[in-house]
């Protein structure tokens, strides 16, 4: 009789631990989804700044049409890429590179470099880039914690049974480094 009671208690304890582990996975998954929406919000903020930046540069650098078209195309591709982290990473990297090129144009055009609207947009972009990087770090930290649980014993058993798979990190270079655009030779 005592052995049966001990076995029942052990089974109940295992079930309770399993339920707690499952619920923790659910919480972590929600935390990752929430932190991804923060990254997405900041990316959209950057998308909204780009047309104004392009229009400002357009007035000064009319013969830089290829660069401007590349930025607009990269922005549109990035806006269109929604969903999984891996689906957005590539278009975002292309956008970052094209933004760096666009910002480098200010070195070739002294009037543009002194334009108040351009400077304000550049500052706003720098602030947005900082916010994107902060949101990305939070997202990746949440993914790291979740992935550790997916791979650690005994929670990996609950993850495997319940279909909790590893999540992907979001790697993205900032468009502006150290608050300044890259230098180009003129």
Query: Is 110 buried (19+), middle (13-18) or exposed (0-12) by CB count in 10 A?
Result: exposed
pTM: 0.81
Peptide bond just before 154 cis, omega within 30 deg = yes
Distance CA 118, CA 37 (A): 29
Predicted local confidence at residue 183, as pLDDT: 45
Residues of the chain falling short of pLDDT 70:
175-186
Asked if residue 79 lies in contact with residue 144, where contact means CB atoms within 8 angstroms, the answer is no
DSSP string, 156-172: HHHHHHHT---------
Predicted local confidence at residue 184, as pLDDT: 42
Predicted local confidence at residue 175, as pLDDT: 67
Distance CA 32, CA 54 (A): 33
Q: Within 13 Å of residue 136, how many CA atoms lie on the same side as its CB?
A: 18
Predicted local confidence at residue 107, as pLDDT: 82
Predicted local confidence at residue 153, as pLDDT: 93
Predicted local confidence at residue 177, as pLDDT: 54
């Amino acid at each position: 009789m005592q052995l049966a009671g001990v076995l029942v208690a052990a089974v109940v304890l295992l079930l309770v631990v399993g339920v707690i582990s499952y619920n923790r996975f659910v919480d972590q998954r929600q935390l990752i989804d929430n932190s991804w929406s923060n990254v997405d919000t900041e990316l959209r903020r950057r998308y909204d700044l780009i047309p104004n930046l392009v229009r400002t540069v357009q007035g000064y650098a009319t013969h830089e049409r290829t660069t401007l078209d590349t930025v607009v195309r990269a922005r549109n591709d990035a806006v269109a890429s929604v969903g999984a982290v891996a689906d957005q990473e590539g278009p975002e990297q292309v956008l970052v590179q094209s933004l760096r090129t666009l910002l480098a144009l200010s070195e070739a055009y002294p009037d543009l470099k002194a334009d108040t609207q351009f400077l304000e947009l550049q500052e706003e972009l720098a602030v947005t880039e900082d916010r994107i990087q902060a949101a990305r770090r939070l997202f990746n930290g949440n993914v790291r914690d979740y992935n550790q649980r997916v791979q650690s014993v005994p929670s990996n058993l609950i993850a495997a049974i319940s279909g909790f798979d590893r999540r992907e990190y979001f790697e993205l270079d900032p468009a502006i480094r150290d608050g300044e655009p890259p230098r180009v030779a003129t």
